[in-house]
């Protein structure tokens, strides 16, 4: 998807004290990373420069940027064709959705490959108000479909990577979107690599998404220049958490091994079930071991009942020191 056609506004005078107050002083590496990312946001003039399409017209080598495609125009890749039409739609203030497709089977390896794609206006369909739907009642919501036929059809040239425009309709039967709402189009919303690093760093120290949005919008000169919405940032953080579940045990073992290399007395033990999944894990650092040697005459084992996302029972071995303060002897996750 192409980036939004917004111009970056420099804002070097906004202090970072409000943000840094949210980050613990123990996270020095994370704070340094945040400073580097913030500097790149402020110092890079091309941070929000949109990606320009590199399309080639069959009749001319110099294609005018953001110009409407024409029948017979060809592109050297499928992504170039999409980028050029998305840029044109963004300039003309209308949204686009993917339409019908056509696939063929390769004779060499038997794999399916795309040979035709339609791109339609996002509100292209029509709603039949006279006849009720067959499956239940229609939801009592506003009707946004207008039946606009604006579309483009591109086809692959043989087995090559070249795509040709076969059919295009540019006329609209409705008023176009106002400039203040163009930034909400899906084709104009994306999170590039540098903001993604910033959001991931803030999420690691549990900064709420609303505060991330407020900080980032102040850095780029307003929420209209962000190139994404608060919902996009929230979805990105959710996807990162989902991806983390695929290798979370490996990260746990890696963290334990790192602590063991620093603390020679650090101890951990992991028990797996018959399918290789994590069943039990126990760990205790050097301070916990010293506390147990001094105050281990009476030990209490306290648990929570599956309050985490996995769900695992979290257990704590604890006791009381000579100041009648609670001390931890060890921790465990139990299935």
- pLDDT higher than threshold 60 for residue 115: yes
Rg (CA), the chain: 28
Chain mean pLDDT for the chain = 76
Q: What is the rounded distance in angstroms from the CA atom of residue 292 to the CA atom of residue 329?
A: 5
Residue 62 has pLDDT above 80, yes or no: no
State the first-to-last Cα distance of the chain, in angstroms, to the nearest integer.
Answer: 43
pLDDT bucket at 16, cuts 50 / 70 / 90: very low
| CA geometry: angle 74, 78, 79, nearest 5 deg | 115
Give the range among 5-14, 45-54, 194-203 with minimum mean pLDDT: 45-54
- Which stretches within the chain are classed as H helix? 17-20, 28-43, 78-92, 193-204, 209-220, 230-244, 248-262, 286-295
Q: How confident is the model at residue 32 (pLDDT cuts 50, 70, 90)?
A: low
Confidence bin at 5 (pLDDT 50/70/90): very low
pLDDT for position 295: 94
**Residue 129: C-alpha distances to residues 142, 147, 201, 250 (Å):** 12, 13, 49, 55
pLDDT bin (cut points 50, 70, 90) of residue 131 is low
Q: Which of 135-149, 152-166, 201-215, 247-261 has the lowest mean pLDDT?
A: 135-149
- Residue with the bigger pLDDT between 263 and 189: it is 263
Residue 161, pLDDT above cutoff 60: yes
What percent helix, strand, coil does the chain show, rounded to 5? Answer: 35, 20, 45
Q: Which of 60-74, 115-129, 140-154, 260-274 has the lowest mean pLDDT?
A: 60-74
Instruction: Compute the distance between CA of residue 284 and CA of residue 300 in angstroms, rounded to an integer.
Output: 15
**Residue 299 confidence (pLDDT):** 94
Say whether 216 sits in a helix, a strand or coil.
Answer: helix
Residues 128, 129, 134, 138: is their CA dihedral positive or negative? positive
For 245-302, what is each residue's pLDDT tens digit?
A: 777 888 888 999 999 999 989 999 999 888 878 889 999 999 999 999 999 999 999 8
Model confidence pLDDT, tens digit, residues 70-79: 888 888 888 8
pLDDT of residue 194: 86
State yes or no: pLDDT of 58 exceeds 50: no
* pTM for the predicted model, two decimal places: 0.47
11 Cβ contact partners less than 8 Å away, ≥ 6 residues apart = 42, 218, 219, 220, 221
* Banded pLDDT at 326 (limits 50, 70, 90): very high
> For position 139, what pLDDT does the model report?
59
Angle at CA 175, nearest 5°, toward 169 and 176? 70
- Category of 227 on φ-ψ map: left (φ > 0), alpha (ψ -120 to 50) or beta: left
**Higher local confidence (pLDDT), 226 or 54:** 226
Give the mean model confidence (pLDDT) for residues 93-112: 81
Q: What is the pLDDT of residue 328?
A: 94
Tell me what the mean pLDDT of segment 296-325 comes to: 87
Per-position b or e across 218-251, b if 16+ CB within 10 A of its CB:
ebbbeeebbbbebebbbebbeeeeeeeeeeeeee
pLDDT in tens, 213-254: 898 888 888 877 788 888 888 888 888 877 777 778 888 889
Q: Report the alpha-carbon distance of residue 101 to residue 82 in Å, rounded.
A: 14
Which of these ranges, 38-47, 102-111, 179-188, has the smallest mean pLDDT?
38-47
Please give the pLDDT value at position 259: 92
Which residues have a Cβ under 8 Å from the Cβ of 40 and sit 6 or more positions away? Answer: 47, 194
DSSP letter at 309? S
Cα separations in angstroms, 46 against 12, 37, 51, 54, 219:
15, 14, 10, 18, 14
């Amino acid at each position: 998807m192409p980036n939004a056609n917004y111009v970056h506004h420099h804002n070097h005078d906004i202090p970072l004290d409000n943000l840094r107050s949210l980050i613990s002083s123990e996270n020095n590496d994370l704070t340094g990373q945040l400073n580097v990312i913030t500097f790149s946001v402020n110092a890079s003039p091309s941070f929000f420069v949109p990606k320009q399409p590199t399309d080639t017209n069959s009749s001319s080598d110099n294609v005018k940027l953001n110009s409407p495609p024409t029948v017979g125009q060809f592109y050297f890749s499928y992504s170039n064709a999409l980028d050029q039409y998305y840029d044109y739609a963004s300039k003309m203030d209308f949204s686009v959705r993917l339409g019908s497709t056509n696939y063929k089977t390769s004779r060499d390896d038997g794999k399916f490959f795309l040979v035709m794609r339609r791109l339609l206006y996002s509100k292209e369909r029509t709603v039949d108000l006279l006849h009720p739907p067959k499956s239940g009642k229609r939801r009592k919501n506003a009707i946004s479909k207008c039946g606009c036929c604006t579309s483009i059809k591109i086809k692959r040239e043989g087995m090559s990577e070249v795509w040709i425009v076969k059919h295009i309709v540019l006329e609209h039967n409705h008023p176009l979107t106002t400039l203040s709402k163009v930034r909400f189009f899906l084709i104009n919303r994306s999170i590039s690599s540098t903001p993604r690093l910033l959001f991931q760093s803030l999420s690691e120290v549990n900064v709420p998404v609303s505060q991330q949005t407020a900080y980032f919008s102040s850095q780029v000169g307003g929420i209209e220049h962000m190139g994404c919405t608060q919902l996009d940032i929230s979805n990105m953080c959710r996807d990162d958490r989902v991806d983390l579940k695929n290798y979370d045990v490996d990260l746990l073992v890696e963290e334990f091994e790192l602590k063991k290399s620093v603390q020679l007395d650090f101890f951990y033990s992991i028990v797996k079930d018959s399918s290789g999944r994590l069943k039990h894990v126990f760990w205790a650092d050097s301070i916990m071991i010293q506390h147990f040697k001094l105050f281990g005459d009476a030990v209490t084992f306290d648990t929570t009942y599956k309050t985490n996302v996995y769900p695992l029972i979290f257990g704590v071995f604890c006791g009381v020191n000579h100041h009648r303060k609670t001390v931890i002897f060890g921790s465990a996750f139990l299935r």
